[in-house]
Chain A
Amino acid sequence: MRYTALCAPAIVSMVLAANGHAETLIVNSYGGPYETIIRERIIEPFEARFGIKVIYDAVGSASQDYAKIKATNGRPGFDVVVMTASQSLEGCKEGLLEEFSPEEVPNLEHLSSVIAGVAGPCGAVHEVQYLSLLYRTDKLAERPNSWNALLDDGLKGKIILPTFQNVMAAYLMEIFSVAHGGDLLENIDPGFAAMAKLAGQSIGFEQSSSVMETYLKGGDVWAMPFWNGRAQLLVDSGLPVDYVLPKEGSIPLVATLNVPKHAANRDAALKFVNFFLEKSSQEAWVTGYKVGSGRIDIEVPADIRAKQITTEADLKALLLPDLAAVATRLSAWGERWERDVVAAAK
């Protein structure tokens, strides 16, 4: 049984042959609680409807997946991958990702044009989260409603920030920039000034969201920026935490489904993308994983609508930076972050 290492390809092809002509599809996404929900809400219904067998591949983060697509020139071994709008744009530009057409993925037409435009022609937006202000309900006397609450004296040494290589950091800087009189791209001095002040409040910087979480769980941190989908997971786990979309607004995390240019099972991949964007799938995903959607015609319970991006008005209230322009500035911003923000933390 354990001879797989040396003759894996042979065995895989034998297994495929033995199963007759059953179509397969390799979907790359995340592990942990995410995997449980996506299997139940999306993958199993998809398999039942199309008779296509889905192999679930939880290996790698979105950026590692993108690197793999780039290194293999669009033939990474998976057919569908969950990444973000930034990677969709970059991959489209480099010709590494399939461009979706309305004929092959009809449900794209149902996405709000506001959000579909953000991801470009190679990314199918299947989920929208926003950067929220996550806080401990047992430590903060009142519910914060402004990002400036993070700058309060009462939170000195009680917040934590992402490192710049976690895209939350750049977005937070841009949000503060807009809130303090700057803009999303050119005039970002107010944003960096605010981040430097914030760094003085912070106990440090962490790259990984799960490490940031442990500080909040342990009570060392009382408030921090966090993607609201994961914030909701924490709320549901019974921790005394809650999150808000502050009044200055927020930048979304636009999650996309992508198909690498030379995917082995292209047709099944397009079917999967289309299936995920269907109204019933989007409703199942929004209520299951508790995130927002780019489809504004979905029907969801009021409590979910209250906290998630589900309407045209919600989408329009978001700050939407030009992600292609952000990509060209990331490197310079990263250096400035080292000099202005990290240095201010000492």
Chain B
Amino acid sequence: MAVIICSTPTKPLRAVVPVKGLLPLIAPSLVLVLFFAIPMGMMIGISFQSQTEGSPTLASYSRFFSNDLVLAGLARTVVMSGLVALCVTVLAYPLAYYLARATSRWRTVIFALAIAPELAGVVLRTYGWLIILEDRGFINSALIWTGLITEPLPLSKNLFGVVVGLTHVILPFGVLSLLTSLQGINPNLEKSAQILGASRLAVIRHIILPLSVPGIVSSFLIGFTMAASAYATPALLGGAGFKVMATMVYEQVLFYLDWPFAAVMANVLLILMLAAGFIGSRLESRLHQKLHL
């Protein structure tokens, strides 16, 4: 599919290395089609199956769009993922900026610190957050001990807990996304601006932020999609009242054994994310054209 769209490069001068733009796409497309597109095609087929009858049906789709619990889960997923993407990007930015500019010995240490928690496994770290955030956890115990509060604050088993946990899991990915982009900015630009009398704030606003738009888009996009498809963290930190699409899909596949319905949920999620990704890329190109050359 992708290969066909790509058959006539309109601006030959832009393709620098004289390999046509579509050629390198063959290998990744092949892998993607074989191990993703065809299997997902089968799942799309399953979404029209019926538990009872043989003929294709839209029953699972109409069930999806008429069930308030499912739609609430969808809305919750979007809100949660948006918040996580925002928190990840905001928190990752200073760290990535530091890593892109620092030259001291500390740089490696901080880089390692930023990435290492990711290697400690998601499930156990989430248990770690549970111990910190729950009603008798560290934070609440400490606050009650100091007398600041008498009743524990609701820090876990709700949206707050999930956003904290997911932000933590996804933050390193945000850092890597932004780092890639920030390193592409020539530090001489900042220096010359400062020599010419621009304040730090002005440098950030007019040089660094605009030039790191691709990184910001990456970080936001990756944060959003990773959050929307995460399972373990919402299940552990969200509690029974906090169902998101990913947890519902798991339940349908493993517990209710209703695969057509699970496939419907996955398809809706996929279409939603494809749209978000497409809009993100469009926005990025547009901004990029406006800012660059």
Contact = CB atoms under 8 A, between A and B. Distances in A.
Are chains A and B touching directly in their complex (CB below 8 angstroms)?
Answer: yes
Interface of A: 61, 63-64, 66-67, 70, 90, 163-165, 203-205, 207, 211, 220, 327, 330-331, 334-335, 338-339, 342-343, 345-346
B279 interface: no
B157 interface: yes
Nearest to B253: A67
Nearest to A87: B257
Given A331-B256, A345-B241, 13 more contacts: A64-B254, A67-B253, A70-B257, A90-B257, A204-B239, A204-B240, A211-B236, A331-B258, A335-B69, A338-B69, A339-B69, A342-B240, A343-B241
B254 A63 contact: yes
A61 B253 CA distance: 13
A21 B50 CA distance: 45
A165 B241 contact: no
B111 to A, nearest CB: 28
Contacts of A327: 257
B255 A63 contact: yes
A343 B68 CA distance: 14
B240 A330 contact: no
A163 B240 contact: yes
Interface string B69-100: 10000000000000000000000000000000
Contacts of B256: 330-331, 334
Contacts of B151: none
Interface residues of B, number: 19
B101 interface: no
A165 B157 contact: no
B282 interface: no
B235 interface: yes
B136 interface: yes
Q: Which of B236, B255, B258, B259 neighbours the largest number of chain A CB atoms within 10 Å of its CB?
A: B255
A311 B287 CA distance: 76
A345 B241 CA distance: 9
Contacts of A339: 69
Given A220-B136, A331-B258, A338-B69, A205 B253 contact: no
27 contacts: A63-B254, A63-B255, A64-B254, A67-B254, A163-B240, A165-B254, A165-B255, A203-B135, A204-B157, A204-B239, A204-B240, A207-B235, A211-B236, A220-B136, A327-B257, A330-B255, A330-B256, A331-B256, A331-B258, A334-B251, A334-B256, A338-B243, A339-B69, A342-B241, A345-B240, A345-B241, A346-B241
Chain B CB within 10 Å — which of A63, A327, A346 has the most?
A63
Contacts of B258: 331
| Most-contacted residue by chain A among B67, B69, B239 (CB, 10 A) | B239
Nearest to B243: A338
Contacts of A211: 236
A165 B251 contact: yes
Interface in B224-274: 235-236, 239-241, 243, 251, 253-259
A63 B241 CA distance: 22
Nearest to A62: B254
Contacts of B136: 220
Nearest to B73: A338
B239 A205 contact: yes
